[in-house]
Amino acid sequence: MHIYGIDCGSGGLLPLTALPHCGAVVQRTQVDRVTRLLTRLVDEVTRRQEVLAQGGFASLTEQRSAVAPDDRMPHVLLLLDRWEGYLSSLSELDGGKLHTMMMTLLNEGASVGVHLVISGDRSLGSYRLAALTEDKLVLRMADKTDYSSVGLNARTLPDSVPDGRGFQPDGNIETQIAVLDGPITGQGQAAAITALGERTTARDAGVPRSHRPFRIDVLPSRLSYAEALRYAGDLSDRPPLWALLGVGGDDLDAYGPDLSLTPVFVLGGPSRSGKSTALVTMTRSLLERGTPVVLIAPRVSPLRDLADAPGVRGCLTADVLLNEDLLPLLEQPGPLVVVMDDAELHKESRAADTLKAYMRTAADAGRALVIGGGVNELAAGYTGWHADARKQRAGALICPQAPTDGDLIGVRLPRSIVGEPVKPGRVHLSTPTGLLTLAVPHQD
């Protein structure tokens, strides 16, 4: 059994993370993690349907009884605490995308071993969710008239219902919920779960990673460049023009563009959103691989601090970008990455033709162009070298402020990330499977 949780209450499910078979408990304020969790679970339902169909199994029970122990698919349990909190904070995000995924799990999950346990107030009984749940347990309600909304006759119930006492609408079976050892308080039960987690974690230390639940890790709130490099592992295993951008994903890995596949990379965002810091991260990772770079920084930028670093062919800081300054730096053969900050200042550059020619031949020559700038400025206009860069449809966004910001890198933005407060440290990278939110390291 693999356990996951969505906590839309006060954090009562969080102690479950101490258990070795708990993949993640996410809170309703962590919209990105909720989206990643539900997406992974829906994808798992689809994968299991295909596996069962190929094997001719009608259910997960048949599959588990017919195959070798190592090939048995585990049951998956999703706990959702406070359905009313989920409805008010998550169900309408991105045009109801999260709610659609939740309904998919309710409709199709049970047959492939993905089960849900949902708690909530009387809205559980009045919602169409009630028709999709096989088993119901009703605890003490705030008002006796509320019992009718969940199929119980209030006149047949006692006037006083103790804590933990529940009733099943089908047959009115009375049930008392069990508790763990220790004090019957939130803190006491959490301590009991933690102690249980310590024992079972030690017991299951030898379980291989392939048999453990997938994780939905929390993005670091603050990350140094050295820490990000540790996530990247051995850089020699990465493609030659791979550039570190940040850390993210379900299992927390280092991510960034392979500039040999996307030779033009656009990084857009509002003022003081951390674009320059992200460009410095990419530049440092390229230099550490021995890839030469040319820096262009017409305004004060941390890129200028790298001007004397080994591998930097030149750093152009003039307000006007001239051919006579840029061309000599591009003439040397071999790999090269041009990194430009505040690129909107050079939209009408006298070196526009040189930049266009550089982009046309970059892929074949093992070269690339990385630019950062304001979304509105870089997205304006249909001609010019910046328009050609935009047509490559590759890049990342920081703190997008409008749905149309996605046009800069050729993606459709989910509503949940539009209009975020301008807060450095997060970037949304365009990948073949969609946008991936990364934590960008600060510079030491």
Residue whose tokens read 């996951």? 4
pLDDT of amino acid 401: 92
Helix, strand, coil share of the chain (percent; to 5)? 40, 20, 40
Q: What is the tens place of the pLDDT at every residue in 61-95?
A: 999 999 999 899 999 999 999 999 999 999 888 88
pLDDT of amino acid 237: 85
pLDDT of amino acid 297: 96
Q: Distance (Å, rounded) from C-alpha 246 to C-alpha 255?
A: 6
pLDDT of amino acid 171: 63
The encoded tokens of residue 397 equal 């966004």
pLDDT of amino acid 114: 97
pLDDT of amino acid 123: 82
The reported pTM is 0.84
Domains in the chain (CATH in brackets) are 2-211 (3.40.50.300), 225-439 (3.40.50.300)
Q: Where are the beta strands (DSSP E) in 54-200?
A: 76-81, 114-118, 165-168, 173-176
Q: What parts of the chain have a pLDDT lower than 70? A: 126-127, 171-172
pLDDT of amino acid 127: 62
Q: Distance (Å, rounded) from C-alpha 119 to C-alpha 128?
A: 15
Instruction: Give the number of other CB atoms < 10 A from CB of residue 328.
Output: 11
Q: Distance (Å, rounded) from C-alpha 188 to C-alpha 197?
A: 14
Q: Distance (Å, rounded) from C-alpha 388 to C-alpha 390?
A: 5
pLDDT of amino acid 233: 87
pLDDT of amino acid 408: 93
Q: Which residues pair with 437 in a beta bridge?
A: 428
The three-class DSSP label of residue 296 is strand
Q: Distance (Å, rounded) from C-alpha 197 to C-alpha 304?
A: 50
